[in-house]
Amino acid sequence: MKKLINSAETVVTDALRGLAAAHPDLRVDPGGRIVSRACGPTPGKVGLVSGGGSGHEPLHAGFVGYGMLDAACPGEIFTSLVPDQMVTATAAANGGVGVLHVVKNYTGDVLNFELAADLCAEEGVEIARVLVDDDVAVRDSPDTAGRRGTGATVFVEKIAGAAAEGGAPLAEVARVAREVNARSRSFGIALEACTTPVSGRPTFELGETEIELGVGIHGEPGRSRAAMRDARELAAVALDAVNEDMPLSGDVLVMVNGLGGTPLIELHIVFAEIAERLSGRGARVARSLVGDYVTSLDMRGFSVTACLLSEDLARLWDAPVQTPALRWGR
Amino acid sequence: MKKLINSAETVVTDALRGLAAAHPDLRVDPGGRIVSRACGPTPGKVGLVSGGGSGHEPLHAGFVGYGMLDAACPGEIFTSLVPDQMVTATAAANGGVGVLHVVKNYTGDVLNFELAADLCAEEGVEIARVLVDDDVAVRDSPDTAGRRGTGATVFVEKIAGAAAEGGAPLAEVARVAREVNARSRSFGIALEACTTPVSGRPTFELGETEIELGVGIHGEPGRSRAAMRDARELAAVALDAVNEDMPLSGDVLVMVNGLGGTPLIELHIVFAEIAERLSGRGARVARSLVGDYVTSLDMRGFSVTACLLSEDLARLWDAPVQTPALRWGR
Amino acid sequence: MDTALLTRWITGIAETVRANRERLTELDAAIGDADHGVNLDRGFGAAVQALAEEPPVSPGALLRLVGGTLIRRVGGASGPLYGTAFREAGRHLGSLGDSPEVSPAELARALRAGLDGVTRLGSAAEGDKTMVDALAPAVRALESATASPAAARAVAEEREAFEAAASAALAGAEATIPMVARKGRASYLGPRSAGHEDPGAASCALVFAALLSAVNDPGQG
Amino acid sequence: MDTALLTRWITGIAETVRANRERLTELDAAIGDADHGVNLDRGFGAAVQALAEEPPVSPGALLRLVGGTLIRRVGGASGPLYGTAFREAGRHLGSLGDSPEVSPAELARALRAGLDGVTRLGSAAEGDKTMVDALAPAVRALESATASPAAARAVAEEREAFEAAASAALAGAEATIPMVARKGRASYLGPRSAGHEDPGAASCALVFAALLSAVNDPGQG
Ligand SMILES: Nc1ncnc2c1ncn2[C@@H]1O[C@H](COP(=O)(O)OP(=O)(O)O)[C@@H](O)[C@H]1O
Ligand SMILES: Nc1ncnc2c1ncn2[C@@H]1O[C@H](COP(=O)(O)OP(=O)(O)O)[C@@H](O)[C@H]1O
Ligand SMILES: [Mg+2]
Ligand SMILES: [Mg+2]
Ligand SMILES: [Mg+2]
Ligand SMILES: [Mg+2]
């Protein structure tokens, strides 16, 4: 598998050097693995910090900026960050009125954030945490580590970020963040697995007409294997999985997300079918994102994330945002 | 090759349906293959129209909106549009003071735009044309169809669009557009060829350690085959090819563009090397874009486009733009 | 030669292009962008449909309708070029009054006008590895074989004229294999374009093969 | 058992993890995200370096340094968990005054404290298909084999104790193959997780194999 890298070991550091060169409005520490706003923390504003394994670009570093995150810390490829990063990032985000940790629900992320939160608390920083767990491919039961955090992370970071920018206190920012997560569900489908730089081979093998349903964003195999079919049917499979878990109606914020190796033209084709099927359900696409937002290295495929909007959430979604990957109103 | 499509024949139409559903601020005619601003032409403003084969998304339709194009017309995959589309698009862009046709230099595009321009002229619309030919992989000689138009198209459409939005007359908008093209060069490298929906097979075969230097954006084979190497060396190959044709110095606008199947993290790695090598040359990255802007379906690889900025061009680059794919300052 | 024969011709082109769709696309994949077969299939399919919807009254009108349809439906380089070839041929016949019957010699002169249109638009010369390398020799062959006034009458010789044109086109197409392209997408490859037959020249050979069959085939009425 | 022996142990873990890096990553690829081997390689490599930079004065301090290093350097699920195991073991020895020598029985109790830390943090029970399925039986084996006060003295029996722990860990790891995961990434697969050995359990077996070699190997001084 050919990749545009210098070495498997330096992938994250090299990519952060590039992010730094491309975005003067970010402060990037490639070695320490911290990305924060160049302007530093905003005094009196609740700080937002997120992080996790790399390989999901633009998540999270691409969402650092006005109206969204204050800081992000990327871990190794697919490996959740380490506590020290979170502590440093939290300091870089701390405007004096508390910091919200946005944590995707994976054992590794949860444990490391937990250890980090303790250390932050010891330093006297007020910490709240929101666990993002929107992936309906995983049953939410004591027999699993719980649903995974995937696409909804973008919604949580955008909307909670807007609340924080608007001056809401920590408790309220955390409440909004949890509400967004509670109203969001995702489902992903892979046409081809991704290849990690270190292993150099696909994390799983799919036949010429096989696809993986309910795939994770770390190259984890999904819920089941199935036969390839056309975009309309695949859109239906994904949307129905979401709808089964959380009936869709009214105004919906929809993201059709590319997993890294999927061209935009195909994502638009999927989105067309999603939008049509939604309106067939009496729901409507009130807001949408189509593109690569939560990727899995070079995986081919897509995920669909739906969030049931309220007027407040829609207003916060529309609020100005200025980050490398999301930008409007400013 | 698995693709998220309904059928090879409906790819463009289906994708335009999706674009329409995702962008209420665009007027999209999936059948007629016309994308224009929902608000219609701006009276007294020079209109900007571009178009060409599909498969390069977000180019061109993704650049329709305030500060950039007024209308775009996508052809079939990799097949330049037909004259009727241009005529309709030109009408949709005509604010009464002339329309600029942005044409990528390919025989098919040139011939069809030529036939279209005649028809527009017959209808009394003042037409100017800018030919974009920035790809240094092709020698600019009577023995070729001339350099191809690739990445510089984004720069031309953004900067000429800003000039038009600023109220410049047709002659001036055309002059700026030509100046941007004259100051821009590109070079592309493919790690894997793309697969067209119709043929279903890669347009050329590369071995596990082979790459294609100077590849075109239509799956055309490039200048030569070479051995795969690391990101730093590949960045050097691309940048040096550009620099050989147009010595780089001073403030440079740089785009590291993904060809469709390349994850963002790899593009940032390449950009890091490009930026470093540039400053080694005494030039500096004054503005930049890193991402998928001029793609070639699912091709893996990247292209580098450099434009020698003047103060005026930098100002026009920074001017507000609000399109699906480029958005800032508004 | 009447509209029935020319309709058989266009229908024949559509059929042979459909049958050779993959091959033409293969050729284009090697030195172009792998869409020539698809482009012409779309174009001539549309042309056949157009002819069915409003059957033209004269060969000239028929060729103009086909040319316009190709220009409107094909796109790419081949659309305007093939479109121009048929349209200019039709316009030539129009300038002569659009009689319902044309002689092989008149058709030859019409196709010469078409060839001129192609070279005017695309400014390709023979040897540039384009459709011109098949079209030009085919037109010359047809012209010389229909030059003598007598020829136009004898049916046998008429066939020979179109056989000559068909094999000239085929030979011209094959002759593009060693050529280095100087026009169109293939020219990007420089020396690497040698060793491959030009797709447009190959499709042009099909066009003249279809013309020969149309002449040979008495038609269903 | 002194810091020299424990240093040999950690160094041994680093070596065997490096040697088994691909295998561990393979196992993780099947039911996880293909990084376990890489994670531990990074972690224990850093631990060995830390020990070299500031050689700890007591087994307790050594285990705490190793634990802290794993927590700071590994990430993922295994980082905090393995890190906690070593750190809690070290803290237990610290609570006993950090003597420069510890008996196998004391080490057994320390590892029990480490196991408790792992289950407290990860709340995994035996049978959940995690490292606990190798760690718990290993600790039990070491405890019972070092229970009798006499045992602690006889070198032969000491070895047997660590042999028992090593084979218990190995057996525990193999026993995870048929299990359906209820914790960690593998649990996402539900029934599909059965039929694969748990990478964390496999690495845990390596940890106790390395302990046995450290005990057997007299060391270079
Ligand atoms: N300037 C030109 N003059 C004549 N024929 C040309 C010229 N450029 C291209 N062609 C013909 O067009 C053919 C390619 O057609 P097609 O693949 O349908 O269009 P495109 O190259 O735009 O994809 C070439 O094989 C060549 O025969
Ligand atoms: N809750 C848990 N309790 C104990 N061990 C766990 C738990 N979750 C995961 N593990 C162990 O961690 C191993 C995976 O480690 P690793 O691959 O390095 O981290 P990650 O899963 O974050 O990529 C699993 O094989 C399992 O043995
Ligand atoms: Mg991991
Ligand atoms: Mg084409
Ligand atoms: Mg072509
Ligand atoms: Mg793992």
pLDDT digits 0-9 by tens, A193-210: 999 998 888 988 999 999
pLDDT band at A306 (very low <50, low <70, confident <90, very high): very high
What pLDDT is stored for residue D154 in this prediction? Answer: 67
How far, in Å, is the centroid of ligand 2 from the Cα of D24?
12
pLDDT over 70, % of chain D: 95
Residues of A in contact with D80 (CB under 8 A): 83, 108, 111-112, 114-115
- The H helix count followed by the E strand count for chain B is 8, 14
Report whether A259 contacts A248 (CB < 8 A): no
Report whether C44 contacts C13 (CB < 8 A): yes
Can you tell me the distance from the alpha carbon of A319 to that of A160, in angstroms, rounded to the nearest whole number? 11
**Gap from B223 CA to chain C (nearest CA, Å):** 6
Q: Which chains touch D (3 or more CB pairs under 8 A)?
A: A
* Among B23, B60, B101, B218, the one annotated catalytic: B218
Share of chain B residues as helix, strand and coil, in percent rounded to the nearest 5 = 35, 30, 40
Residue in B82, B139, B220 nearest the CB of C79? B82
Can you tell me the distance from the alpha carbon of B273 to that of B275, in angstroms, rounded to the nearest whole number? 5
Residue in chain D nearest A194 by alpha carbon: D33
Rounded mean pLDDT, C22-44? 93
B55 CB within 8 Å of a chain C CB: no
Does the pLDDT of residue D25 top 70, yes or no?
yes
In terms of C-beta density within 10 A (0-12 exposed, 13-18 middle, 19 or more buried), how is residue D123 classed? exposed
Q: Which of C204, A4, D124, D175 is nearest to B299 (CA)?
A: A4
Can you tell me the distance from the alpha carbon of B255 to that of A20, in angstroms, rounded to the nearest whole number? 15
How far, in Å, is the centroid of ligand 1 from the Cα of C81?
8
User: pLDDT tens, B155-176?
Assistant: 999 999 999 999 999 999 999 9
Q: Which of C114, C109, C68, C54 is nearest to C89 (CA)?
A: C114
Chain B stretch 287-306, residues whose beta carbon is closer than 8 A to a beta carbon of chain C: none
User: Amino acid letter at D101?
Assistant: E
Check if B218 is active-site. Answer: yes
Q: Tell me the DSSP string of B36-72.
A: EETT---TTSPEEEEEEEESSTTTTGGGBSBTSBSEE
Please judge whether A270 and B18 are an interchain contact, meaning their C-beta atoms are less than 8 angstroms apart.
Answer: yes
Please judge whether A265 and B15 are an interchain contact, meaning their C-beta atoms are less than 8 angstroms apart.
Answer: yes
Q: Tell me the DSSP string of C62-102.
A: HHHHHHHHHHHHT-TTHHHHHHHHHHHHHHHHHHTT--S--
Q: Which of B55, B52, B50 is nearest to B11 (CA)?
A: B55
Please judge whether D71 and A82 are an interchain contact, meaning their C-beta atoms are less than 8 angstroms apart.
Answer: yes
pLDDT band at D217 (very low <50, low <70, confident <90, very high): confident
For B36, B189, B236, D51, the CA distances from B233, given in Å and listed in that order, are 41, 12, 5, 38
Q: Which of B14, B212, B268 to mutate to test the interface with A (most CBs of A within 10 A)?
A: B268
Please judge whether D35 and A79 are an interchain contact, meaning their C-beta atoms are less than 8 angstroms apart.
Answer: yes
Average pLDDT, chain D: 94
Residue in chain B nearest A60 by alpha carbon: B265
Please judge whether A145 and D35 are an interchain contact, meaning their C-beta atoms are less than 8 angstroms apart.
Answer: no
What pLDDT is stored for residue A254 in this prediction? Answer: 98
D132 CB within 8 Å of a chain A CB: no
**Gap from C113 CA to chain B (nearest CA, Å):** 18
Residue nearest to atom 25 of ligand 1 (CA): C200
Residues of B in contact with A273 (CB under 8 A): 6, 14, 18
Q: Pick the atom of ligand 2 nearest to D184's CA.
A: 8
User: Amino acid letter at C125?
Assistant: A
Check if B56 is active-site. Answer: yes
User: pLDDT tens, D123-148?
Assistant: 999 999 999 999 999 999 999 999 87
What pLDDT is stored for residue C221 in this prediction? Answer: 43
What pLDDT is stored for residue B233 in this prediction? Answer: 98
For D1, D96, D108, D144, D152, the CA distances from D148, given in Å and listed in that order, are 17, 20, 12, 8, 7
What pLDDT is stored for residue C155 in this prediction? Answer: 65
User: pLDDT tens, A14-71?
Assistant: 999 999 999 999 999 999 999 999 999 999 999 999 999 999 999 999 999 999 999 9
Residues of A in contact with B258 (CB under 8 A): none
Q: Which of B252, B253, B264 is nearest to B295 (CA)?
A: B264
B225 CB within 8 Å of a chain A CB: no
* Ion ligand 6: residue ranges with CB closer than 5 A: D 28, 32-33, 35-36
In terms of C-beta density within 10 A (0-12 exposed, 13-18 middle, 19 or more buried), how is residue C137 classed? buried
Report whether C39 contacts C80 (CB < 8 A): no
What pLDDT is stored for residue C218 in this prediction? Answer: 74
User: pLDDT tens, B81-136?
Assistant: 999 999 999 999 999 999 999 999 999 999 999 999 999 998 999 999 999 999 99
Q: Pick the atom of ligand 1 nearest to C79's CA.
A: 18
How far, in Å, is the centroid of ligand 2 from the Cα of A112?
12
B114 CB within 8 Å of a chain C CB: yes
What pLDDT is stored for residue D27 in this prediction? Answer: 95
pLDDT over 90, % of chain A: 92
How far, in Å, is the centroid of ligand 1 from the Cα of C130?
7
Please judge whether A22 and B290 are an interchain contact, meaning their C-beta atoms are less than 8 angstroms apart.
Answer: yes
Angle between helices A83-93 and A107-122 in degrees, nearest 10 = 60
Does the pLDDT of residue D220 top 60, yes or no?
no
User: pLDDT tens, D93-104?
Assistant: 999 999 999 999
Can you tell me the distance from the alpha carbon of D76 to that of C75, in angstroms, rounded to the nearest whole number? 53
Does the pLDDT of residue D15 top 70, yes or no?
yes
The structure's pTM equals 0.93
Average pLDDT, chain B: 96
How far, in Å, is the centroid of ligand 5 from the Cα of B267?
29
In terms of C-beta density within 10 A (0-12 exposed, 13-18 middle, 19 or more buried), how is residue B139 classed? middle
Ligand 2 surroundings by CB, under 6 angstroms: A 79-80, 107-108; D 28, 32-33, 35-36, 39, 76-78, 81, 118, 122, 124, 130-132, 183-185, 198-201
User: pLDDT tens, B199-257?
Assistant: 888 988 999 999 999 999 998 878 889 999 999 999 999 999 999 999 999 999 999 99
Residue in chain D nearest A53 by alpha carbon: D76
pLDDT over 70, % of chain B: 100
Residue carrying structure tokens 């089941």: A224
Report whether B162 contacts B321 (CB < 8 A): yes
Can you tell me the distance from the alpha carbon of A188 to that of A212, in angstroms, rounded to the nearest whole number? 9
**Gap from D25 CA to chain A (nearest CA, Å):** 8
Of 3.40.50.1100, 1.10.286.10, 3.30.420.40, 1.25.40.340, the CATH number of D3-216 is 1.25.40.340
Q: Which of D33, D72, D73, D82 to mutate to test the interface with A (most CBs of A within 10 A)?
A: D33
How far, in Å, is the centroid of ligand 2 from the Cα of A136?
21
Report whether D199 contacts D138 (CB < 8 A): no
Please judge whether A220 and D33 are an interchain contact, meaning their C-beta atoms are less than 8 angstroms apart.
Answer: yes
* Among A56, A60, A101, A268, the one annotated catalytic: A56
C199 CB within 8 Å of a chain B CB: no
Please judge whether D185 and A77 are an interchain contact, meaning their C-beta atoms are less than 8 angstroms apart.
Answer: no
Please judge whether B4 and A208 are an interchain contact, meaning their C-beta atoms are less than 8 angstroms apart.
Answer: no
